[in-house]
Amino acid sequence: MPRMLDLIRTSSVPATLMQAAARGALSVPPEDMIEILVHLANHNKVFGQQARMTLAGWDEKSSLAAAANPNTPQEVLEYLTSLENLRPRLLPALLENPSVSDSTLTVMATTGSREVVEAMRHSPRVQNSPAILHAITSNPNATSTETAQLHEQLVASGFEESLPESEPTGEGSVASTPATGDRDADVDEGVTTYIAEHAKEIAAEAGKPFQPLGGIHEFDISSTQVAAAPEITTSAPEPVVTAAKPAAPAQAATAAAPAKPVPKKPQPGQEQERGSALQKISRLDVKGRIQMAMKGTKEERSILIRDSTKLVALAVLESPKISDGEVEKFASQKNVLEAVLRQIPMKRRFMKNYSVVRNLVANPRTPLDVSLGLMKNLLVADLRNLSSNKEVSDTIRKLALKMFKQKSDTTKKSSG
């Protein structure tokens, strides 16, 4: 008897069965199902989009098994390693899979996101491949510190000597400079274009200070950094943070206590970063905050996405540096402007990420028309969860229940 995949390849099954296959609802082994989904995603114009959405939210255990298995078909591995389909949690398994070629990893190393760079730096296979390590140095998402360390590592291994332009100066950032310069030029051009397109609106909002939705007190900053704010700014940060902790003696004692947390210096990162980012942002006008939204760090974007000035919040989504993980988080936030939640689905790149779609629909702040338009893309399990989610509107819950029953019935019929 022919395999189901062979029947689907030759279009020898009815449309209802193809539709069930695109939803991942066939009674076949997981490794066969994922191969069928990849085939539909790559070759079927009618059910390809549905198959891609299904793959984006496919069971993690099965996905990991396919990513780690050397016997997984090349078409599946190529799909899983392509940058537009790459799921960060599958990265470690894919990097160590011997059936994923070094040339594929080199492309990932050169053009991958920040998550790819971090995963590769912790991969035993990558650490033993000078060619892939060198490719990371030209990735604009690698920091200058990482690039310098990699160059030192390559020089120590003797590989760097054969690379023409990296040896003369001996500086770690040489190889990445052109790529970084090109990227910076692109970002600058994007900022200039955005500001020019919204010049009138920026002029109208010119004097509006930074006011995050939900209030500045919601940001998790240690009181040590709050105390440092006055020496940097004399306006917004100092009074707002002081007002957030009024005259309660117990809290005043807590504010003094952080002298002890100073030994926490092993991880100086997040709180200090956020505190200093808030201080910088509070000093900027609208145009300055737009520039930071498009050129700044992940920490700065996470703050500016909550800016009550629409132009600033939307500029975050225009940043070339923004990652899929950040957008997933923004899609689930209730303390952002509705305009942000409306803009996310307008970008095709974000809509390829199933988690973004699911988070938007489940977010009670997402405009009703946006949620209704996205619901058709949800998997059966997520529709069931949505139908009992009391945070969303009654309309969403009822429609989710109706769609859940319809999809469940279709699945039963096709598998029966």
Shared domain check, 140 and 89: yes
Specify whether the CB–CB gap between 286 and 199 falls below 8 A.
no
CA–CA distance from 404 to each of 170, 364, 377 (Å)?
61, 19, 12
Per-residue model confidence (pLDDT) at position 217? 59
Q: How confident is the model at residue 181 (pLDDT cuts 50, 70, 90)?
A: low
The mean pLDDT value for 186-197 works out to 80
| HSE toward the beta carbon, residue 163, CA cutoff 13 A | 23
**Position 206 in a domain:** no
pLDDT at site 408: 82
Q: Indicate whether 130 and 9 sit together in one domain.
A: yes
308: in domain: no
DSSP string, 288-344: HHHHHHHHS-HHHHHHHTTBSSHHHHHHHHT-TT--HHHHHHHHH-SSS-HHHHHHG
Q: Are residues 265 and 342 in the same domain?
A: no
Please check whether residue 231 lies inside any domain of the structure. yes
Say if 15 falls within a structural domain: yes
The answer on pLDDT for 175 being more than 50 is: no
Report the distance separating Cα 161 and Cα 182, nearest Å.
25
Compute CA 324 distance to the chain's CA centroid, rounded to the nearest angstrom: 2
Is-contact 104 97, C-beta < 8 A? no
User: Is the per-residue pLDDT at 216 higher than 60?
Assistant: yes
**Cα-flanking dihedrals φ and ψ of residue 212, to 5°?**
-75, 145
Query: Any idea which of 116-120, 264-268, 269-273 has the lowest mean pLDDT?
Result: 264-268
Residue 212: strand, helix, or coil: strand
Residues 18 and 153 in one domain: yes
Q: Give pLDDT tens digits for 254-265.
A: 444 444 444 444
Residues 353, 249 share a domain: no
pLDDT value for 362: 95
Domain boundary among 254, 283, 312: 283
What pLDDT was estimated at residue 199? 87
Read off the pLDDT of residues 237-255 as tens digits, 9 standing for 90 and up: 444 444 444 444 444 444 4
Residues 29 and 102 in one domain: yes
Nearest to 308 by CA among 389, 211, 174: 211
Write down the pLDDT at residue 269: 52
In the chain, how many domains are there? 3
- Which of 257, 283, 309 is at the close of a domain? 283
Q: What was the pLDDT predicted at 64? A: 94
**What is the model's pLDDT at position 115?**
85
- Residue 341 counted as domain residue: yes
Verify that 152 and 222 share a domain, yes or no.
Answer: no
Give the relative orientation of helices 269-282 and 286-295 as an angle to the nearest 10 degrees.
Answer: 150
* Domain membership flag for residue 340: yes
Q: What is the mean pLDDT of residues 264-285?
A: 68
**Within this chain, do residues 147 and 18 fall inside the same structural domain, yes or no?**
yes
Q: Are residues 145 and 264 in the same domain?
A: no
Identity (one letter) of the amino acid at 172? Answer: G
Q: What is this structure's pTM?
A: 0.48
Question: For residue 413, what pLDDT band results from cuts at 50, 70 and 90?
Answer: low
- Output DSSP code: residue 204: H
Are residue 267 and residue 389 in the same domain, yes or no? no
CA–CA separation, 252 and 258 (whole Å): 11
| 401 and 264 within one domain | no
Decide: 136 and 111 in contact? Cβ < 8 Å.
no
In this structure, is residue 353 part of a structural domain? yes
Could you tell me which residue, 342 or 352, shows the higher pLDDT? 342
Range of the domain at 354: 323-416
Same domain, 154 and 25: yes
Is 315 part of any domain?
A: no
